[in-house]
Each structure stands twice: as C-alpha cells, then as structure tokens.
Amino acid sequence: MLEQVAAVTLMNLRSLPQRLGTSWVIVVGIAVTVAVLVSVLAMDAGFRKTLAGTARADRAIVLRGGSNAELSSTISRENTLTIMDAAGVARGPAGKPIASAEAVSIVALPLKRTGTAANVTLRGVGPQAFALRPELHLVAGRMFRPALRELIVGRSAVEQFKGVAIGGHIAFRDSDWTVVGEFDSGGDAHESELVGDIETVLSAFRRNLFQSVTVRLESAQAFDRYKAALTTDPSLSVDVLRETDYYAGQSRQLNKLLGFLAVFVGGFMAVGAMFGALNTMYAAVAARSAEIATLRAIGFSALPVVVSVFAEALLLSLLGGAAGAAAAWMFFNGNAVNTLGANFTQVVFRLSVTPALLAQGIAWACCIGALGGLFPALRAARMPVAAALRAG
Amino acid sequence: MPAIVSLRDVVKTYTRGKQKVEVLHHLSLEIPQGDFVALMGPSGSGKTTLLNLIGGLDRPTQGEVTVAGERLDRLGSGQLAKWRARHVGFVFQFYNLMPMLSAERNVELPLLLTHLNKAQRRQNVAAALAVVGLSDRAKHKPAELSGGQAQRVAIARALVADPTLLVCDEPTGDLDRATADDILHLLQALNRTHGKTIVMVTHDQKAADFASHVLHLDKGQLVEGQTAAA
Amino acid sequence: MKYLPLVWAALWRRKVRSLFTLLSIVVAFLLFGMLQGVNAAFSQAIERSNVNRLIVANSISFTESLPYAYMAQIEAVPGVARVAHLSWFGTYYQDPKNFVFSFPAEAERMFAVYPEFKLPADQLQALARTRTGAVVGADLARKYGWKIGDRVPLHSTIWTKADGSSDWTFDIVGLYQSPGDRAQESAFYFNYAYFDEARSFGKGKVGWYVVQVADPQRSAQVAAAIDRLFANSPDETKTQTEKEFQQAFLKQIGDISYIVSRILFAVFFALLFATGNTMMQSVRERVPELAVMKTLGFSDTGMLALVLAESVLLCLFAALAGLAAADLLFPLLKDTLGVVRMPLRVIAQGGAVALLLALVTGLLPAWRARRLDIVEALRG
C-alpha cells in the first residue's frame, strides 16, 4: 500500500510543472498571507523585545502612588533619598546606593522620515545611572559634564530624529543644549532618549520635583523586602515595581492591538488564500481526472489518489509559506519603527522576525494548504471511474 | 429565381506551419433563392471551408463571394459579424448551445443583437420554439435535452432572427436515423413552407436526399451537380 | 442591460469555482473596508477639524504647561475672536483600564470655541454654579451609565490634591452632544477653578489654549503673531491650526496609512492572481461557445466587452458584499480604536478599486476572446 501511495504521489508531483499556471495562485496567495502575518507579529515581537530589553529583574522603579508612568509621577527630593537608602538596594564600592533619581521631560523634535514633530524623552539622570545601567555605553563622543547643558543621545534617537547627532544643538526654554555623545544600550527603550545630568535638567526646566527613582537591588529576590520597606514607610506614598513588570505593562496595549491586527488580517487573508487553494486543487483534480480514472480502473485504491492530491496542496503551500516568511525576513527584519510609548514619547523599536515567527508562518501555510487540499482530494477519491474515463 | 449565393473564381488557401494548402481551386457556384442545397464530398474536400465562405465566417484568398447582395470578400470582420447577424442562421453538428443558458435564452441570443425590446424578443423566441415543436422545453438547460431536442433548439436559434439563409454543417451527424429524419423533415418544411434558402453540408446520402439539389465537392472543386429526387 | 442575464449565466458556469473566487474577493474587500475605514476615519477627524481654530501649546512640547496669564494677552492679539484653555487631567474611572479623557476648562469659553458641542443653556449655567460640577459626552455617559445628578469619582494619574490624594469627585450636571461626529462625545469637562484651587502643584498654569480666529484666511498671521508675543520668554509658544496639530499627533502613534496601504497592497496582489486565473480558465474552457457567439454575429469588440463585463460584475458584486460585511463589523472596532462608523467614502473607493481589479484581471482573457478566430476555434 505504501508503495502505491508513494508511486502515485511522485507521479503526480512530476506532472506538476504542467499545471504551473494555476499552481501560482496557491503559492502567491499563501506567500502574501504569511508575509503580512509574520511582519505584523514581528512588529509586536520587536516592541516587546525593546521594552523587555530595558528591564532587568534585579532593578526596581519607584513612582508616586497611583501614577502609572514616569511622566505623571512626582517625587520630592527628600523622598528620593529615603527611597535610595532603603533596605535591599545594592551598594557600590564607595558604599553609595546604586540608584538614580530621575526626571523626564518631553521635547518636540522633527522625525527624519516625515518632518513632523514627535515627542522625545529628555531624561535627567543621577551620578550612579551608568553603574545602575551597565548596558548603556558610549559609542561615540564623550559623556556629558554636570552643570553644563550637555546631552548624550541614544542610537535609535539619532536614527529617527533630526538634529540630534553629535555636535547638534537643541534649543528649548531659554537654554541651548549641545549633543556631546552617542550611546548604545542594546536597542532598548532608553536608546530613543536624550540623557543629561539631573540637576541641570531640573534647573533648566525650573522644577524641583523628581519623577522616578530606579534602583539596583542586591538580588532579584530582594525585591519583596525592598517593596515592603517603602510601602510601610508612612512618609512615602509610592508604587514600587519590578522593572520587568513596569515595562511589560507598557507594551501590553500595543501588543494587544498588534496581536488583534495580526489575527484579524492574517485570519481573513488565510480564508481568502484557502479559497484560492480550493480552486487550484479542484482544477488540478479536474485536469488529472483521466489519469486518476485510469489508475482506479487498473486497480489502485482511493488512498494513494487522496494522498497525492493532498501532497500537492501541501507542497505548494509550503513553498508559499517559505517564500512569504523569507520575504518578511528579508524586507522587514530589523526595520526601525516608532510609536508613542507610555510616557507620551516616542519609542523606537525594530521589527524582529524570530525563528518562532517563521515557524508560525509556515504552520499557518500548511493549515491553509491542508484545508484547501482536503475537499478536492475527497472529490478525486469519489470520482466515478467510468464517467471520468469517457470524458477523458 | 435570382441567385442568393454567388461565388466566382474563388480560391482559398491555408497556411499550415510552413506549408501552404490550397483548399478551394477557382471554384464558381450559384445558389438561387429558396433552394435547399446539400454539399457532399469526402473529408478534406473543402465542404466546410466552402460553407464558412458562404456563411461569412471566413474570406476567400481570391475571387468574389456575393451572398444576399453583399460582396463578402470586401467586408471587414466587424462588418461580416453584422452581416451574419442579419442574414445567416447557423446549425452545427454538435448543436453548440450555451450550456448555462436555458433553451429559450439560447434561442434569444441572436435577438440581443437586434433592436427588439424584451416583449418582442420573447414573442419571437416563442414563435421559433413553436416552429421546431419545443414550446414545452423552453425552460430546460441543454444538458436536460435529448440530442434531437437540442438540435431543434439550435434550429430555432438559427431561425429566430429571420435570416435570409440557413447554413447547416452536418446537422444530423450526431443523431440516430429516426431523429435525423425528423430534423431533416423539419429543415425541408422550413424550406418549402417558409421559403428559407438552406445550404447543408453532409456526408450522409440519405440526408442529402432531402435537399432539392446536391453539389459534390472533391479536392476543392465541384464535380457535376445533380438534382435530388425530391 | 439586456446582456445582463447572459453575463450572469456565464459567470456561474462553474458554480464552485466562481463561488470560491467570489468569496476570496469578498474577503479582500472586507479587509479593505475595515482597514481603509479606520484610515479614513482618522483622516476624516483631521479634515473635520475646525479651520478657524488654533492650538497654542508650549514650544518645548505639548505636555509642558503655559501660564494662565497668557489668556488675556492672546485675547488682545488682533484677529483673535475667542480664547479657551484646556489641561490634560489623565484619569481613569474605578479601574486603570477605564481611561477617561477629562479636562479642566472654563466652560463658557470652551463651549463658545467649540460650537459643534451642544449643551443645553441651563446645564451650562448649572456647571457655572456647581464648583465640583462636570459635563460629560453623551457616549461616555452611556458607557458607564452616568446620569445628571450622579456623583462620580475619577482617579487622576497626574494631579494630586493638597491632601496628597489622587481621587477627585465630580457632580454630573450636564450631558453634551456632538451631532456631527459622535466620536467626540466621549470627553469629560469640569471647572478649572475647582481644579486649580485643589491641586497641590502647578497652580496658575494651563495645558494649552484654543483660539478661535475671526477670519480663517488670516490664521497663519494670527498664529505667528501669538508666537511672536511670547518669543524669548521662559514659556515660548508654538501655535498650529487644529488640523496640523492633529496630523502631527496621529503621525506620532504610527504611520497608520502607511501600514494599511502596505497590507492592502499585499492582499490585492494575491487577489489579482486568484481572480485573473479564474477569468483566464473560464475563457479557455469556453472557446467553442465564444466562437459560436461570434458566428451568430457578436462582434469582436462585443466579445471583449462581454468578458470584461463578467469580470466587472464579479468584482463589483463581491466588493459590495465585502464592504457591506465590513460596515456591519465596523462597530466592533469602537472600543479598540474609537471610530464609530465606516466612512461612506470608503465604499466609493472600494468600488473604484473593484473596477480597477476587474479591468486588470479581465483584460487579458477579454483580449483573448476578442482575438478568437471562429474557423480555428470551431474546428476544435
């Protein structure tokens, strides 16, 4: 039996080139579906990756109670000292807590691609910020100097926004800031930001309130102890979040939207591609009717015929799926996109076509192909032999 | 009776690949109005080519073809199409009905090319179907008709626009003897009572016997004509 | 018109094939309707923005505040008819998921600048009388079942009161409507005086000013004049028309029209193959039939037109079905995207796309039908 199946299937696949015209419908339909699906999911994966990359399990961020993002939070100077000194915070060689009390401000800078203004985060950081975030390192220029209006700028920001390359001047309020360095932090959310000295930023914006404190914990397990220490302190009213939770929360909204878009658009496209596959496979069965009838007349059972139709559909859809996934990877992997993040500012992220997404795309392709091949295969099996012979 | 079909010194050649084949050699022919002519001859003798020229489906390589007062060799393909719609009804061996249309819709087809309105078209269709005796099959699709019935529908379609000339290519070639005779009687009646000029290609002597004249064609030329015993 | 039954019958010659082709076109236009609908709804919002309104915001960014004292100065600029101000309050109701767009405002000024918002005069007076009063969009009120007289607590993620609490309580005294655009009925406005007095920081500041100009033709000059007024001050301004402002904001979220057009391009690229293949197969199968029709006297151009008509009929019919389905599904997007109805113009665009699709996919088969040689085709 197995030999029968193999023989008929091979014979059929060899005749495939003769039906190339209609076979394209399956390949193109599925390729396009998979390409769209994978690209949208790659956007989702990229955004997730950027925000997740910003977070470390042994870091915690502290915000004013009830404010869910840095932008809306306010913390007084004396509170930042309490927060940085609490139990569980890791300390550097000199015994100083590895922590940074920060303020964010939004500056409008033109996007390179459209020229329209976009909100960019200007972050003022404390002296320990670079011990706190070792992933952040300069790739060009030098560090800003305290008390001078100097900034360092993330790589993604340099790519997306006008006028922030080293040597560039950014004027706001009654001050003029010079970009002196460019940093890399592994493509995380901070890479879309401008970073300067906290005291200089506060004075330039005439503020005296901080907005967040980020601390390095002694270990990831120290979080509960640290959180308990802050929340039981009657002088504080703060929310304490693991960085991982804080950034995962920020991506949730967009992840939901992109996930919905992928399933909605991909689902409908898959249905459309399936109709195309059905048409192609019905046509293939019709074109082979004389051949199938002859096989059946000779004494072949229905199974090899069914398998041969099914194999054709699967092969074509696999081809389409692979082409679509490859196209998504070639054209979109690593493409930088930007959107508004939780702070009302731009987060730059890269489409990330992961192996898992490629596999997912090909799995979709196979499902479409299987469904598109099923009914035509059954029809082939049920074809009345005599009538088909005469028609042929 | 004046000649309704007149061919003068007609040559028709086809190019098959690199080869040039002359199918009709300097053929001349006249068919008077109201005649029923059977064209006979072995396959390859040029019967169908001659019929295509008379029916305005094709143009001669050389010579004059005058049908219903029109020099067909001078018409372009668009003018020929208009001319066919007005003057010729075709009947084919395999009926060539549109499988997705009902009998009456098939018959109506040539009327779509006229200026008749819907009611007039319906009236003419009913009349044509009555002539061929198929009024009760009007709503049927070709697949639901027997061979004889299908050919009657085809004849009704050929008749419905009241053409000058009926051109039939082996109209009984696909039918059994009894059915074939029915169809031939119908054609004969159309010729005798309605005065339709009919040109029919056949290789069946019994069919040819229904015609008033038989023309024999061999190797692209007419052999001497003979009058049928009708 | 008399050819319609003929064309329709030809279309359904192979029922299963035509049905599947039809369904794949329906699906494509369903996607077209939804995606293009969202896109058009956003751009419609931009186009609807009032041409005689300007937004005056801090030049550093939209989120930096401006002094309240600017109002009188802006009012004095020649060409300015009315000035109102709004501030971002950033609230949710009961759960962080229930985001509420709420703004402290001076109601009389605000409703004068936004004449498209309809609020009964007595409710406007009630708001002026009630310190903790609020007027709410009809749609927002429906969503949470709020009525006039209800006392509603909102949690602000930004603003704390002097006692450190972020919970603010309001008395609903009015419901406003926006008949021209129901999507605008989801905001919550309350008294600036209450807000400014109770907040613990930032007193004496507003988020941004909304300026109505007397003559829309002169809005550029007025905008420039306002910005000049505050140039070289600690709070420089950036004045834009409402349209520019909204455009820039949407661009920040992401280039929606770019993504939509890419996806739709992909969808229709695949559809071109599927539909073109069906039309080509259909003509190939019907060669003898098409030859007979030519024999009957149908002209070459007539045959071209008939085959094209088949393709047009198929595509238009399927496109309308798909767009109708999209119209039915559209309200489902309301919670995700805040758009209420599929804009009508999408149907016209869809029709045009369907026609184009039909012509592109039908042209080759139609040309083949036109070129068909009767004598050859009848010989089989």
Judging contacts by C-beta atoms under 8 Å, the chain C residues touching residue B124 are none
Contact partners of A by the rule of 3+ C-beta pairs under 8 A? C
Residue B15 pLDDT class (50, 70, 90 cuts): confident
C288 and B CB contact within 8 Å: yes
Q: Tens digit of pLDDT for each residue in C317-335?
A: 999 999 999 999 888 877 6
Q: Do chains B and A touch (3 or more CB pairs under 8 A)?
A: no
Instruction: State which residue of chain B sits closest to C377, comparing Cα positions.
Output: B57
Could you tell me the pTM of the whole model?
Answer: 0.83
DSSP state at residue B31:
E
Residue A301 pLDDT class (50, 70, 90 cuts): confident
Tell which wins on pLDDT, A73 or C253: A73
Half-sphere exposure of C111 (CA within 13 A, CB side): 24
Instruction: State which residue of chain C sits closest to B166, comparing Cα positions.
Output: C296
**Partner residue facing C296 (CB), from B85, B100, B121:** B85
Beta carbons within 10 angstroms of residue A379's beta carbon: 17
Q: Tens digit of pLDDT for each residue in B147-170?
A: 999 999 999 999 999 999 999 999
Domains of chain B, CATH where assigned? 34-57+86-227 (3.40.50.300)
DSSP state at residue C117:
S
Q: What pLDDT is recorded for position A361?
A: 94
**Partner residue facing B81 (CB), from C3, C12, C297:** C297
Q: Are B105 and C3 an interchain contact pair (Cβ–Cβ within 8 Å)? A: no
Residue A214 pLDDT class (50, 70, 90 cuts): very high
Judging contacts by C-beta atoms under 8 Å, the chain C residues touching residue B121 are 2
Strand partners, C92: C99, C155
C270 and A CB contact within 8 Å: yes
Residue A360 has pLDDT above 60, yes or no: yes
Three-class SS state of A9: helix
Q: Are C20 and A271 an interchain contact pair (Cβ–Cβ within 8 Å)? A: no
Q: What pLDDT is recorded for position C59?
A: 84
Q: Tell me if B37 sits within 8 A of B210, measured CB to CB.
A: no
Q: Tens digit of pLDDT for each residue in B103-143?
A: 999 999 999 988 999 999 999 999 999 999 999 999 999 99
Residue A1 has pLDDT above 80, yes or no: no
Any idea which of B19-28, B219-228, C9-18, C370-379 has the lowest mean pLDDT?
B219-228
Judging contacts by C-beta atoms under 8 Å, the chain C residues touching residue B113 are 296-298
Tell which residue, C167, C192, C204, has the closest CA to residue C69. Answer: C204
Average of per-residue pLDDT across B19-27: 89
Three-class SS state of C184: helix
**Partner residue facing B90 (CB), from C9, C12, C296:** C296
Beta carbons within 10 angstroms of residue C336's beta carbon: 13
Could you tell me the residue ranges of all domains in chain C? 4-46+255-379, 50-253
Residue A132 has pLDDT above 60, yes or no: yes
Q: Tens digit of pLDDT for each residue in C197-254?
A: 999 888 999 999 999 999 988 888 999 999 999 988 888 898 999 888 888 777 777 7
**Partner residue facing B105 (CB), from C5, C295, C300:** C5
Tell which wins on pLDDT, B198 or B230: B198
Q: Are B100 and C9 an interchain contact pair (Cβ–Cβ within 8 Å)? A: yes
Q: What pLDDT is recorded for position B152?
A: 94
Residue A206 has pLDDT above 90, yes or no: no
Selected for mutation to probe chain C from A107, A265, A331 (highest C CB count within 10 Å) is A265
Q: What pLDDT is recorded for position B230?
A: 37
Burial C109-122 (b: 16+ CB within 10 A, else e): bbbebbeebebeee
How far away is chain B from the Cα of C351, in angstroms, using its nearest Cα? 28
Tell me the average pLDDT of chain B: 90
Q: What pLDDT is recorded for position A392?
A: 46
Percent of chain A having pLDDT more than 70?
98
Average of per-residue pLDDT across A124-143: 94
Q: What pLDDT is recorded for position A119?
A: 87
Judging contacts by C-beta atoms under 8 Å, the chain C residues touching residue B110 are 296-297
Token pair of A284 as six digits: 């293939």
Token pair of A389 as six digits: 């012979």
How far away is chain C from the Cα of B206, in angstroms, using its nearest Cα? 25
| Cβ neighbourhood burial of A299 (10 Å; 0-12, 13-18, 19+) | exposed
pLDDT in tens, chain C (380 residues): 788 888 988 888 888 899 999 999 999 999 999 989 888 888 877 777 777 899 999 888 777 889 999 999 999 999 999 999 999 998 999 988 888 999 999 999 999 999 999 999 999 999 999 999 999 999 999 999 999 999 999 999 889 888 888 899 999 999 999 988 787 888 999 999 999 999 988 899 999 999 999 998 888 899 999 999 998 888 889 899 988 888 877 777 777 778 888 889 999 998 998 899 889 989 988 898 999 999 999 999 999 999 999 999 999 999 999 999 999 988 887 766 666 678 888 999 999 999 999 999 999 999 999 999 888 888 75
Q: What pLDDT is recorded for position B227?
A: 44
Q: What pLDDT is recorded for position B229?
A: 38
Q: What pLDDT is recorded for position A322?
A: 96
Q: Are A118 and C252 an interchain contact pair (Cβ–Cβ within 8 Å)? A: yes
Tell which residue, B116, B24, B26, B12, has the closest CA to residue B61. Answer: B12
* Tokens 């002209």 belong to residue: C299
Q: Tell me if A381 sits within 8 A of A373, measured CB to CB.
A: no
How far away is chain C from the Cα of A59, in angstroms, using its nearest Cα? 23
Q: Do chains C and B touch (3 or more CB pairs under 8 A)?
A: yes
Q: Which helix (H) or strand (E) holds C277?
A: helix C256-285
**Partner residue facing C12 (CB), from B100, B105, B113:** B100
Q: Are B81 and C298 an interchain contact pair (Cβ–Cβ within 8 Å)? A: yes
Q: Are B77 and C297 an interchain contact pair (Cβ–Cβ within 8 Å)? A: no
Average of per-residue pLDDT across B208-227: 83
Three-class SS state of B229: coil
Selected for mutation to probe chain A from C38, C238, C240, C263 (highest A CB count within 10 Å) is C263
Q: Are C60 and A268 an interchain contact pair (Cβ–Cβ within 8 Å)? A: no
Q: What pLDDT is recorded for position A390?
A: 64
How far away is chain C from the Cα of B228, in angstroms, using its nearest Cα? 29
